[in-house]
């Protein structure tokens, strides 16, 4: 089973990146958003990301145009009908995702494999709403998608071996390193990363050190590209909060509970980089 026609539902931070790396790999891509406005914003993200590579001399203008030419932008889910693989990358909300998969299940040909880029919801639960749980898998990319090399391929008890192998091959074709995980809360990376990022917030909340010193500690002491408070801001504080709620619900372990300061910041509209304010000020 080889995926050559790819659909990506959602053209935000993650969806635009997935569409970009798939088109860069020479695949035929359909990218879908709910409105023309969001579609234009998503397309601009892809253009900006490819533009960086052109500016640095790593991509020619002709190749950039060819990559963009391989992506069809649409607001209709019906355009996913002929796809071999459709990756959903919409907001981390179970009900929204379940509804999309119900619609995709109807719109797509029976052979289409459906995948979710969820970072924390159960792939099994998403698959159960469709008529094709054997052709359903998790494909979890990392932000920024064009840069981060990892894709978690998440297999449920119902995912077929053929679909799992094809999903790994797709990730490799997109230039990524696939790792295989079972459908357990947070898979591999968020199961380990989320308690660390929450601990950094607790340490800051308890006044142990300044935010800069907490971040510098991990950057210069452990070689991380970003400190934990910077990374919380980068992922998005609302996203971190919701991931924490989902993982705490699954494991009932305090290390997954969103820290009170994180909750207050989200309530105040401090969502990290995307809102201009989080642990740091990005308004300038
Ligand atoms: N899109 C495309 N390319 C980008 C980019 C973006 N948004 N951001 C950076 N880049 C590229 C740059 O063009 C540059 O490319 P070259 O090496 O080819 O020149 C390269 O990435 C490095 O960028 P910069 O020099 O501008 O900046 P930097 O060295 O500070 O790196 C970073 C930026 C790559 C984001 C780096 O800080 C980093 O790796 N941070 C950690 C990110 C991380 O941990 N992500 C995972 C988050 S967890 C997640 O996603 C899962 C989840 O479920 C929550």
Q: What is the pLDDT of residue 284?
A: 84
Q: What is the pLDDT of residue 1?
A: 86
Buried b (16+ CB within 10 A) or exposed e, 199-232: ebbebbeeeeeebeebbebbeeeeeeeebbbbbb
Question: Mean pLDDT in each 10-residue stretch from start to end of the chain (284 residues)?
Answer: 96 97 98 98 98 96 97 97 98 95 97 97 96 98 97 97 98 98 97 98 97 98 98 96 96 97 98 97 93
Choice from 15, 92, 117, 144 to test ligand 1 binding pocket (greatest atom count within 8 A of CB): 144
Task: For ligand 1, atom 23, name the residue with the nearest CA.
Answer: 147
**Beta-strand (E) ranges in the chain?**
5-9, 28-32, 71-74, 85-88, 113-116, 136-141, 150-155, 177-182
- Mode of pairing for the β-strands spanning 71-74 and 5-9: unpaired
Report which ligand 1 atom has the smallest distance to the Cα of 194: 54
Contact 232, 278 (CB under 8 A): yes
Q: What is the pLDDT of residue 164?
A: 98
Task: For ligand 1, atom 27, name the residue with the nearest CA.
Answer: 225
Largest pairwise CA distance in the chain: 56
Contact 231, 189 (CB under 8 A): no
Residues with CB under 6 A from ligand 1: 49, 52, 56, 58, 119, 142-144, 146-148, 190, 225-226, 231, 235
Rounded to the nearest angstrom, the distance between the alpha carbon of 189 and the centre of ligand 1 is 17
Contact 128, 100 (CB under 8 A): no
Task: For ligand 1, atom 19, name the residue with the nearest CA.
Answer: 56
Domains of the chain: residue spans and CATH: 5-182 (3.40.50.720), 190-275 (1.10.1040.10)
pTM of the model: 0.96
């Amino acid at each position: 089973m080889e995926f050559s026609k790819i659909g990506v539902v959602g053209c935000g931070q993650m969806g635009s990146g997935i569409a970009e790396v798939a088109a860069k790999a020479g695949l035929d891509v359909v990218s879908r958003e709910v409105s023309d406005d969001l579609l234009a914003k998503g397309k601009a993200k892809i253009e900006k990301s490819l533009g960086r590579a052109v500016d640095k001399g790593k991509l020619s203008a002709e190749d950039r145009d060819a990559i963009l030419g391989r992506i069809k932008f649409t607001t209709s889910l019906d355009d996913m009908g002929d796809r071999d693989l459709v990756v959903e990358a919409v907001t981390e909300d179970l009900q929204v995702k379940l509804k999309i998969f119900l619609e995709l299940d109807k719109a797509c040909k029976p052979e289409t494999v459906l995948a979710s880029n969820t970072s924390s919801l159960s792939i099994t639960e998403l698959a159960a709403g469709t008529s094709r749980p054997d052709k359903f898998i998790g494909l979890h990319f990392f932000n920024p998608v064009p840069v981060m090399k990892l894709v978690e391929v998440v297999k449920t008890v119902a995912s077929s071996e053929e679909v799992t192998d094809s999903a790994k091959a797709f990730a490799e074709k997109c230039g990524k390193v696939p790792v295989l995980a079972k459908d357990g809360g947070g898979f591999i990376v968020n199961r380990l990363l989320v308690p660390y990022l929450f601990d950094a917030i607790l340490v800051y909340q308890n006044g142990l050190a300044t935010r800069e010193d907490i971040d510098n500690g991990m950057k210069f002491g452990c070689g991380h590209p970003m400190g934990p408070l910077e990374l919380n801001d980068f992922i998005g504080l609302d996203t971190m909060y919701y991931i924490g709620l989902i993982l705490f619900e699954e494991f009932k372990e305090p290390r997954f509970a969103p820290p009170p300061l994180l909750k207050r910041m989200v309530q105040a509209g401090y969502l990290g980089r995307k809102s201009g304010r989080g642990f740091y000020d990005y308004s300038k």
